[in-house]
Amino acid sequence: MAFLFRTAIQSVGLSLSLLGWALAIITTHLPHWKNLNLELNEMETWTMGLWQSCVIQEEVGRQCKDFDSFLALPAELQISRVLMSLSNGLGLLGLLASGCSLDCLRLGETQKGLKRRLLILGGLLLWTSGVMVLVPVSWVAHVTVQEFWDETLPEIVPRWEFGEALFLGWFAGFCLVLGGCLLHCAACSSPATPASGRYAATGLQDHDAYLENGTAQPKV
């Protein structure tokens, strides 16, 4: 029963982590971190991501342009680009480490200690990956709110608002954090090696010998 419960926890944790990692990759490349609607031209919408900005027009469609320089970006977008790229790499390593150490796999059955350490490592990597998604997404959201309510800017100046990628990033980060925690808990709850099955078998043999001979054999 304990084995089935631990296997189920590992499967749920790995599934959540895989979902969060895939959504984090999508968030990294989506050009919808910020949206801008122009009151003078309601048929035109601007979006900004970590790699490019786009303008969407009903008649023309979407036109995107990559940023010319990394150094020309605002500080929050520079740090977000670095953290999201690191998060994707750590998430991949965490998935590989956790996938190879699942109890339902026969890989490395004779090395239970190594599989347990790999599962702990995978859970920590996935948890770190989730935090590295939540930090840039929340930072960009915080800066967007500050700029939206900045009273020093004239009212006629358009204001950036939350894009769909921010909500997707929050969901991805929580999935990675929760999946990593579940994998770590499953590894820490692994039962210890059964208390010396060799000694139990020896005791059973002594008991049989006692029943057959009427006396127990002295132990050295």
Neighbours of 171 (CB within 10 A): 17
Phi/psi-derived region of residue 153, left when phi > 0, alpha when psi is between -120 and 50, beta in every other case: beta
CA–CA dist 191, 157 (Å, integer): 62
Task: Give the pair of three-digit tokens for residue 62.
Answer: 């979407």
Q: What is the mean pLDDT of residues 69-86?
A: 92
Model pTM? Answer: 0.80
Q: What is the mean pLDDT of residues 157-177?
A: 93
Average pLDDT over the chain, rounded to whole? 82
Predicted pLDDT of residue 162? 93
Predicted pLDDT of residue 195? 39
Predicted pLDDT of residue 185? 86
* pLDDT band with cut points at 50, 70 and 90 for residue 115: confident
- The percent of residues above 70 in pLDDT, for the chain, comes to 79
CA–CA dist 57, 54 (Å, integer): 10
Predicted pLDDT of residue 107? 62
* pLDDT tens digits, one per residue of 1-33: 666 778 888 889 999 999 999 999 999 999 999
* pLDDT band with cut points at 50, 70 and 90 for residue 191: low
Task: Give the pair of three-digit tokens for residue 6.
Answer: 């631990």
* pLDDT tens digits, one per residue of 49-65: 999 999 988 777 888 99
**Among the ranges given (4-13, 93-102, 121-130), the one the predictor scored with the smallest mean pLDDT:** 4-13
CA–CA dist 45, 58 (Å, integer): 9
| Tally: H helices and E strands in the chain | 5, 5
Domains of the chain: 10-31+72-191 (1.20.140.150)
